[in-house]
């Protein structure tokens, strides 16, 4: 029924193409994961199975979209960075964010059993999604730094909070104890009360996870040791399938970016 009397309704759809020449970031975040993590007895403050499943789902997104040059995840969120010049879906914001979050969510459910073999999924989880544009490399790096700093701040708070609770404080008392404390105070609580040296806690918890593609040259040999190949070791897959690396390293400092200049050059 081409050119029918109904065609005009198409014009009500709004154009939502992302501005050219900007980094496109799609961030997904678990919807009410406070409840979801509690219902599935996630380990506190970090459940490595849950974090592993998040990274598995992020890998699916990067396998679907070759133009995602980097992704960064922590807690119940992942950010996907599309290269500045991507033409995927004509840069339509709603199409990008909806397909990313849909692929992520279905993968999360699809792979659940591999990460929680003894626990049935209690109900279908949902994730929200948004698209944000960053016009400069500095803006993009600051965005990623913001997310990694958030990971650090929450992680430190949560380690203190749950150690206080596990050692007999009520949640209210733990909250009161931590109110107004600085990072140095929390370090001290962890060390003197619980014998925990914050800097020795797993990098996965302190830094979150950054996923990059092959071609990666390493900022340091140190970083190389922390590499986890997500889809098999290099050189044994066809070139068509890109190799994805998961790293639990600092992305705030310049070392990561200077060691991997191709990411911002994308």
Q: C-beta of 191: minimal distance to Mg ion in Å?
A: 28
Q: C-beta of 197: minimal distance to Mg ion in Å?
A: 27
Cross-sheet strand order for the sheet of 244-247: 127-134, 23-30, 77-82, 68-74, 209-213, 244-247, 228-229
> What are 7's two structure tokens?
């065609």
What is each CA distance from 48 to 18, 115, 156, 250, in whole angstroms? 35, 9, 16, 19
What is the enclosing helix (H) or strand (E) of 151?
helix 137-166
CA–CA distance, 51 with 95 (Å, rounded to integer): 26
Q: Please, which residue, 76 or 250, has the CB nearer to ligand DGT?
A: 76
| Nearest Cα to Cα of residue 24 among 74, 88, 107 | 88
Q: Are strands 68-74 and 244-247 parallel, antiparallel or unpaired?
A: unpaired
The piece of 30-38, 141-149, 193-201, 216-224 that touches ligand DGT (CB under 6 A) is 30-38
Q: Please, which residue, 165 or 264, has the CB nearer to ligand DGT?
A: 165
Among 29, 63, 137, 150, binds Mg ion (CB under 5 A): 29
Q: Please, which residue, 30 or 141, has the CB nearer to ligand DGT?
A: 30
Q: Please, which residue, 46 or 88, has the CB nearer to ligand DGT?
A: 46
Q: C-beta of 95: minimal distance to Mg ion in Å?
A: 10
Among 10, 34, 225, 239, binds ligand DGT (CB under 6 A): 34
Phi-psi map region of 203: left, alpha, beta (phi>0 left; psi -120 to 50 alpha): alpha
Is residue 80 helix, strand or coil?
A: strand
180 annotated as ligand-binding: no
Q: Which of residues 185-224 bind ligand DGT (CB under 6 A)?
A: none
Among 23, 33, 36, 112, binds Mg ion (CB under 5 A): 33
Q: Which residues bind ligand DGT (CB under 6 A)?
A: 29-34, 37, 42-44, 46-47, 50-51, 75-76
Q: Which residues bind Mg ion (CB under 5 A)?
A: 29-30, 33, 75-77
């Amino acid at each position: 029924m081409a050119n029918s009397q109904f065609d005009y309704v198409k014009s009500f759809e709004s154009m939502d193409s992302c501005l050219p020449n900007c980094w496109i970031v799609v961030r997904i975040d678990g919807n009410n994961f406070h409840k979801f993590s509690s219902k599935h007895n996630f380990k506190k403050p970090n459940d490595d199975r849950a974090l592993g499943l998040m990274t598995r789902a992020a890998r699916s997104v990067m396998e679907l979209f070759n133009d995602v040059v980097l992704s960064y995840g922590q807690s119940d969120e992942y950010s996907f960075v599309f290269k500045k010049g991507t033409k995927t879906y004509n840069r339509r914001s709603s199409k990008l964010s909806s397909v990313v979050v849909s692929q992520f969510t279905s993968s999360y459910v699809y792979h659940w059993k591999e990460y929680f073999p003894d626990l049935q999924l209690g109900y279908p989880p949902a994730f929200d999604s948004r698209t944000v544009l960053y016009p400069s490399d500095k803006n993009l790096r600051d965005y990623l730094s913001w997310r990694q700093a958030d990971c650090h701040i929450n992680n430190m708070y949560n380690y203190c909070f749950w150690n206080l609770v596990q050692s007999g404080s009520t949640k209210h008392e733990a909250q009161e104890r931590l109110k107004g404390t600085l990072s140095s105070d929390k370090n001290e609580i962890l060390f003197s009360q619980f014998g925990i040296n914050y800097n020795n806690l797993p990098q996965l918890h302190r830094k979150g996870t950054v996923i990059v593609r092959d071609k990666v040259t390493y900022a340091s040999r140190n970083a190389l040791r922390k590499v986890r190949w997500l889809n098999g070791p290099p050189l044994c897959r066809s070139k068509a399938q890109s190799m994805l690396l998961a790293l639990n390293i600092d992305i705030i400092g310049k070392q990561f970016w200077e060691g991997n200049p191709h990411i911002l050059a994308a």
